[in-house]
């Protein structure tokens, strides 16, 4: 199948974008390139780099930014599927690229890692309205180029914060719409002062009730930048951060509520079980079942141009964060919270009670990143090194119990542990134009990790002790051919990824997994002229020891993530665009893929025997990996009027790794329409108004889910939750620019 895909791509000639900019006959970045761009050049793919990537500009992001998170704004790029817990794109949201979730996607801001060091995840709820301060986003699919932070096991997302305008400006945007959603954004900048200084700032406030019951979000964020520009020097200080309070909507809607077996029961697509308890026979919901977190980012960057060929950059960064989520736990065991059993006034011993807990995380992430770049007419060199350290304090407190006087102390602490992770890497990249139409690329990275966890844990017990070290070598090589408007490339990359925190805390010592390895083969072709573009990229991503859920339960009773020896992803990504008229453009992309585990055995709990039964299933499809993803975008621009009609189709996604249709997410086809107009005025720069109607045809669909399967009475049963997305909804926005 792999060879068939490569042969098909060679015959098709349409090809996938490895980028939006055509290579030219020189790699040289002259002094015409801004120092702001030089700061993150090491983190991004540039002309002649043989990888598949897409770029989103500030203007493209701004068109659809009504307050949704980054996952929503990049969802039209190739191979991307997004999801939202609240069903609106606001609050907790995420995305997958080629079926790979954020735990395996390297995400950076100005080259600084954003992924949480322990979980590897990215919590976009902690970066509300960050798109309003972004200059561009580059999405590299596959192993990508060497960067800082966690391994790129499916994609890299490199974000650059906005370059401050050299002229004074002010901007206010108000968005309002369905589900009580309101966003206020205020921005302003001084322009260039005394030929050297520029100051820029933004403040945002976003509130939404969410599509799902009680899935409210209250989020505030800021961005402040101060820069000093010299002839060959840039010194920039930036800080951005946020605070959020969101009502939990993490459980999803049970499938029985989406498709009731009883025809007399009406489906309920907005049900939220978080915070639910029963008191005196009445179902109630806890008011403060919330997630609360505050996070700041501080970046200090110095960039120095050393003539037309050399530049170097040093970034120091610090990210503190702290917060908790609060739960009402009905009928909880005293022993699970290290509380003694309790006797009521009648002397009856009680082993369970209702209680309220808070699980805290207080962490610090800091480090330094250095890069040096050399670019001449035929040679492009980048050297980089980074040292980053993370310290995370995890602890849990019981705030209240229904059983009076059962707490040994107020805010009783029942576990505490500290995770520390030192992550360091160094890499060298070389791109050599050894023929007028052909360049070779070599990228060599060494990455080392020291990771420890010590203390007590709510799952792993009182004697949690982890001390691990990894040394990874991640080479990448490729060739890029270009002539006139044609471009083609081939590449091979190796990536290694260490297990995350849960892989250790939810397994017994003898069950803890080893690291994963990816071998990524890519080839692409791309043609572009002034009227249209066609492209294709074929890939084969072969995994060794990929970590997946098999249904197996660990010795401490948690779902066990285990290494699977052989699995792969392979596919073709087709892209195209055309200028149909001077005022009408079309662009689109299509991903066709196969995502397989070669030999899979599932484990199912048998409630009658208290044991697990195993089922050998052979080759199965990797969970959450649709075999088809397609996007179509029509854009109209005529004088001050603009319009966009966007469509996305995603094929069936299996919720577990068994390829069972009974445990899957149905295919969906969703459309949206945006209409806008810009008024040019004499007393201000402009007033822009637009209206977006999402899910135009009221598609009932889900984008994420979980499932727990078990046997009872010889019958297979399940508990599950599906994350439903909003039906037809609208947002209106007005932006005043001075």
pLDDT tens by residue, 586-604? 999 999 999 999 999 999 9
The confidence score (pLDDT) of residue 36 equals 66
CB 598 within 8 A of CB 570: no
Q: How many CB atoms lie within 10 A of CB 415?
A: 20
Q: What is the rounded CA–CA span in Å between residue 455 and residue 461?
A: 9
C-alpha to C-alpha distances, 359 to 242, 353, 394, 398, 408, nearest whole angstrom: 20, 18, 8, 9, 18
Q: What is the rounded CA–CA span in Å between residue 294 and residue 281?
A: 37
Answer whether residue 612 shows pLDDT above 50. Answer: yes
Q: Residues 6 or more apart from 512 whose CB is under 8 A from it?
A: 499, 503, 504
Burial of 430 (0-12, 13-18, 19+ CB in 10 A): middle
What are the extents of the domains in the chain? 2-737
The confidence score (pLDDT) of residue 17 equals 33
Mean pLDDT of 702-722: 96
Q: What is the rounded CA–CA span in Å between residue 191 and residue 74?
A: 30
Higher pLDDT, 291 or 506: 291
Helix/strand/coil for 696 = coil
Q: Which DSSP category does 581 fall into?
A: S
Three-point CA angle 572, 576, 580, nearest 5°: 160
Q: What is the rounded CA–CA span in Å between residue 507 and residue 705?
A: 23
Q: What is the rounded CA–CA span in Å between residue 162 and residue 517?
A: 35
Exposure b/e, 563-578, CB count within 10 A at least 16 = b: bbeebbbbbbbbbbbe
Mean pLDDT score across all residues of the chain? 91
Mean pLDDT of 412-424: 97
| Domain boundaries 2-737, CATH class | mainly beta
Q: Containing H/E element for 290? A: strand 290-306
Mean pLDDT of 36-51: 75
Burial of 45 (0-12, 13-18, 19+ CB in 10 A): buried
- Percent of the chain surpassing pLDDT 70: 94
Rg (the chain; Cα; Å): 26
The confidence score (pLDDT) of residue 626 equals 98
The confidence score (pLDDT) of residue 30 equals 43
CB 190 within 8 A of CB 112: no
The confidence score (pLDDT) of residue 34 equals 62
* Phi and psi, residue 379, nearest 5°: -135, 135
Name the CA dihedral angle for 365, 203, 137, 312, rounded to a multiple of 10 degrees.
Answer: -60
Mean pLDDT of 499-522: 92
Q: pLDDT for 7-36, tens place per residue?
A: 233 333 333 333 333 233 334 444 445 666
Q: Residues 6 or more apart from 347 whose CB is under 8 A from it?
A: none
Pair of tokens at residue 228? 């000093």
Q: Containing H/E element for 6? A: helix 2-12
The confidence score (pLDDT) of residue 503 equals 92
Answer whether residue 303 shows pLDDT above 80. Answer: yes
CB 13 within 8 A of CB 534: yes
Helix/strand/coil for 38 = helix
Q: What is the rounded CA–CA span in Å between residue 336 and residue 342?
A: 14
Answer whether residue 220 shows pLDDT above 80. Answer: yes
Answer whether residue 39 shows pLDDT above 90. Answer: no
The confidence score (pLDDT) of residue 15 equals 33
Mean pLDDT of 94-116: 95
Mean pLDDT of 525-541: 95
Higher pLDDT, 404 or 210: 210
The confidence score (pLDDT) of residue 184 equals 97
pTM more than 0.85: yes
Q: Which DSSP category does 258 fall into?
A: H
Q: Containing H/E element for 545? A: strand 532-553
Q: Of the ranges 27-36, 113-122, 194-203, 446-455, which one carries the lowest mean pLDDT score?
A: 27-36
User: Regarding beta strands 686-694 and 729-737, do their DSSP bridges make them parallel or antiparallel, or are they unpaired?
Assistant: antiparallel
User: Regarding beta strands 310-333 and 276-279, do their DSSP bridges make them parallel or antiparallel, or are they unpaired?
Assistant: unpaired
The confidence score (pLDDT) of residue 16 equals 34
Could you please report the per-residue DSSP string of 435-468?
ETTEEEEEEEEEEEEEEEEEEEETTTEEEEEEEE
The confidence score (pLDDT) of residue 35 equals 64
Start-to-end C-alpha separation, the chain? 57
* Phi and psi, residue 162, nearest 5°: -65, 145
């Amino acid at each position: 199948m792999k060879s068939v895909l490569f042969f098909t791509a060679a015959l098709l000639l349409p090809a996938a974008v490895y980028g939006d900019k055509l290579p030219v006959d020189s790699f040289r970045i002259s002094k015409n390139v801004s120092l702001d761009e030089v700061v993150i050049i090491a983190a991004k793919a540039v002309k002649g780099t043989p990888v598949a990537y897409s770029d989103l500009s500030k203007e493209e992001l701004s068109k659809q930014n009504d307050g949704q998170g980054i996952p929503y704004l990049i969802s039209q790029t190739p191979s991307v599927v997004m999801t939202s817990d609240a069903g609106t794109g606001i609050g907790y949201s995420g995305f997958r690229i080629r079926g790979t979730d954020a735990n395996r996607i390297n995400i950076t801001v100005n080259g600084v890692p954003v992924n949480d060091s322990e979980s590897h995840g990215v919590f976009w709820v902690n970066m509300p309205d960050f798109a309003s301060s972004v200059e561009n986003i580059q999405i590299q699919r596959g192993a990508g180029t060497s960067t800082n932070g966690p391994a790129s096991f499916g994609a890299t997302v490199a974000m650059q914060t906005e370059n401050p305008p050299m002229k004074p400006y002010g901007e206010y945007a108000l968005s309002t719409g369905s589900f009580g959603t309101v966003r206020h954004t205020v921005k302003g900048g001084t322009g260039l002062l005394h030929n050297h200084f520029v100051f820029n700032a933004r403040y945002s406030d976003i509130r939404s009730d969410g599509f799902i019951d009680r899935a409210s979000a209250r989020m505030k964020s800021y961005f402040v930048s101060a820069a000093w520009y010299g002839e060959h020097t840039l010194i920039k200080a930036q800080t951005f951060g946020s605070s959020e309070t969101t009502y939990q909507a993490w459980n999803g809607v049970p499938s029985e509520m989406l498709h009731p077996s009883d025809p007399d029961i009406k489906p309920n697509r907005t049900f939220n079980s978080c915070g639910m308890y029963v008191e005196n026979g009445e179902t109630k919901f806890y008011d403060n079942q919330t997630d609360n977190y505050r996070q700041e980012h501080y970046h200090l960057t110095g960039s120095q141009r050393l003539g037309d060929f050399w530049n170097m950059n040093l970034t120091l960064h610090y990210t503190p964060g702290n917060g908790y989520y609060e739960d009402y736990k009905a009928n909880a065991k005293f022993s699970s919270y290290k509380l003694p059993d309790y006797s009521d006034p009648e002397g009856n011993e009680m082993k369970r009670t209702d209680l309220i807990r808070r699980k805290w995380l207080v962490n610090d992430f800091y480090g330094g990143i250095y890069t040096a770049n050399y670019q001449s007419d035929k040679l492009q060199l980048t050297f980089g090194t980074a040292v980053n350290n993370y310290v995370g304090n995890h602890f849990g407190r019981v705030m209240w119990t229904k059983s009076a006087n059962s707490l040994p102390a107020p805010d009783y602490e029942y576990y505490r542990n500290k995770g520390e992770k030192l992550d360091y890497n160094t890499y060298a990249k070389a791109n050599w134009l050894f023929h007028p139409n052909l360049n070779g690329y070599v990228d060599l990275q060494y990455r080392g990790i020291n990771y420890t966890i010590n203390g007590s844990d709510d799952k792993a017990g009182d004697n949690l002790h982890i001390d691990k070290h990894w040394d990874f070598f991640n080479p990448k090589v490729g060739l890029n051919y270009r002539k006139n408007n044609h471009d083609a490339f081939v590449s091979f990359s190796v990536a290694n990824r260490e297990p995350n925190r849960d892989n250790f805390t939810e397994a017994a010592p003898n069950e803890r997994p080893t690291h994963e390895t990816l071998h990524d083969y890519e080839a692409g072709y791309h043609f572009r002229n002034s009227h249209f573009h066609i492209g294709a990229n074929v890939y084969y991503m072969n995994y060794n020891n990929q970590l997946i859920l098999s249904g197996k339960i660990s010795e401490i009773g948690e779902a066990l993530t285990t290494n699977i020896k052989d699995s792969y992803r392979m596919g073709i990504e087709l892209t195209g665009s055309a200028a149909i008229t001077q005022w009408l453009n079309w662009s689109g992309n299509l991903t066709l893929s196969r995502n397989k585990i070669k030999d899979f055995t599932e484990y199912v709990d048998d409630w009658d025997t208290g044991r697990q039964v195993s089922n050998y299933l052979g080759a199965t499809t990797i969970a959450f990996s649709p075999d088809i993803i397609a996007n179509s975008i029509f854009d109209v621009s005529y004088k001050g009027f603009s319009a966009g009609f966007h469509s996305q189709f995603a094929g069936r996604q299996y919720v577990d790794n068994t390829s069972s249709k009974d445990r899957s997410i149905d295919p969906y086809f969703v459309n949206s329409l945006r209409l806008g107009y810009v008024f040019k005025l004499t007393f201000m720069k402009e007033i822009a108004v637009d209206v977006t109607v999402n899910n135009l045809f009221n598609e009932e669909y889900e984008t994420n889910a979980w499932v727990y399967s078990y046997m009872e009475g010889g019958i297979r049963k399940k508990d599950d939750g599906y994350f439903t997305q909003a039906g037809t909804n609208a947002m209106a926005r007005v932006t005043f620019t001075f």
